[in-house]
Structure 1
């Protein structure tokens, strides 16, 4: 009996103990019915315990899966938030870039306008200067001469006549007697060299050979 008791499952033995009997006691009738009820209650307890454990295991499994899904959802939300921020920043940068390009285009247009105005002002300045030159030339061309061409020719002939008369008087006034050749001092030679570009070689030769020390004209 002891061997048979040991061969039974521990859950059944525990159920018999709960029912108030033990295997191999030899009880019949009410004892058997009581033992049967104990076995049934023990089996029910075992089944309920197994069900509770299974439910707990499933609940734990679902809880673990739920936590994993929750963590994954949080990560997805974080990534989505980051992507949204990136898209927002990209949109802001795109807007700033468009504004900068529009500003550059506007500045280029203004620069072209300023260049056109500058060219117009420069052209106006040149036109004004040319107009002034043309006015001066027209005034010079339309100016009335103080004397006619014949009067100018008469004045030139008069000046030439006076020059010839002065030359004749000089020729009559100066004594062109040749002097004896002599050696001029060194300082005279230096003075001649420096004076030659101013008065000419011919006049220097005349001053050397003509007696002119008493004539203020020659001096």
Structure 2
């Protein structure tokens, strides 16, 4: 079983800014989302024994993973293959500005892969598939991962055997986790999130 969580809301998310391999801090809402995901996972996992918590190396994912870890009693690990899609020259840019500057790219469903110097879909899919291939088989697999909107979509798509279009059409909530089990994916929403 894999539980997949996206990091909580960041300053860049709130601003509508592309993050990619850049980083920004969790907002108060993002911190509350991380706590809510930790509470949800604590209720889903009876005992942490035998479970691993693996995070992308980026700070926003690590901050979320630390919050979850504190709630369920695990020590987070880092795997660079779970890192977010790089948007190259678009990292740090406002989406609205990019949409105005590159209207032809933004017409595509997976416009993020049009970024100059950014990752290709195939690159991300390859590294995620490599990571998945190293996991123990089900039912011995007990893994929680904290990653990103882009890389999380690709993890789910690779696990489910989805096409590129189907993979990129998936939702990327910051207040839910996905349970990947027996070749299927189930979204599990957190209880309402209140900023502290």
Using structure 1 for the length normalisation, give the TM-score: 0.14
Bigger helix fraction: 1
Structure with a larger share of its residues in strand = 2
- TM-score, normalised relative to structure 2: 0.16
- Greater Rg over alpha carbons, structure: 1
